[in-house]
Amino acid sequence: MLDILQYAVKNTALILAALLPIINPPGGAPIFLLLTRGASADTRRYLARQVAWNASLLLLAAMFIGSYVLEYFGISAATVKVAGGMLVASIGWKMLQTDDAHHDDASSHIEWTRPVAESRAFYPHTFPLTVGPGSIAVALTLGASVYQGGKRPIAAPLGALLAVLIVAIIIYLCYGFADRIVGLLGKTGTTVMLRLTAFVLLCIGIEIFWGGASDLLEPLFQHHR
């Protein structure tokens, strides 16, 4: 039993070390706050709970059945990166164009009720802003080790469940209290943080796209050598 727990903790630490830098909930807090402008604190925390729940389900699905789903539809991980990278880059570009002096973005015209928050919980707040193609690709890779438990077949899935639970809690805390986190920066600091985060999001999208495109084009270049 002790051996199983030790292996589960080790697996949990490995998954957290791989996923948290990519998901980066603290970095996503300013984006979440911008996209929920006009929402009450209660509605924002309700949405944060929904996003945390959706993110955990998406990560677990990618780890346990993601590779089989992609194989069934004949979709490669590189294609997921290309499509997802374009989507992330487009959101980052749109955020860079947002005029903070005029609240003209779409979120400012939304009447934030719980049904509205629930309808927007998956897209765009869960995917691709929280769990994007990069996170899914990492989860797919980590999932390959979930079934390689050897004499400890329960330990690997248990570690995955614990890691995803911790990630979900961190997402909820960062998003649910995004107003307090961003409030520490002040108005000017928040504007700077939002612009930098949007630019980083644009760069991440392009990086993901290029990584997928390179994987798709590599066999072509090798063929002509």
Contact 197, 31 (CB under 8 A): yes
Amino acid occupying residue 93: W
pLDDT the model gives residue 162: 93
pLDDT the model gives residue 175: 96
* CA dihedral over 166, 16, 78, 63, signed as positive or negative: negative
Identify the three-state secondary structure at position 46. Answer: helix
Asked whether the whole model's pTM tops 0.85, one would answer no
pLDDT the model gives residue 108: 53
pLDDT the model gives residue 88: 75
Please provide the average confidence, as pLDDT, over all residues in the chain: 82
Residue 215 CB: number of other CB atoms within 10 A? 15
Nearest to 204 by CA among 31, 48, 14, 16: 31
Q: Which residue has the tokens 């934030």?
A: 112
pLDDT tens, position by position, 47-72? 999 999 999 999 999 988 887 887 88
pLDDT the model gives residue 96: 81
pLDDT tens, position by position, 121-158? 999 899 988 998 878 887 887 776 555 544 446 777 88
pLDDT tens, position by position, 180-214? 888 887 777 777 777 887 787 788 778 878 888 99
Contact 102, 37 (CB under 8 A): no
Contact 41, 114 (CB under 8 A): no
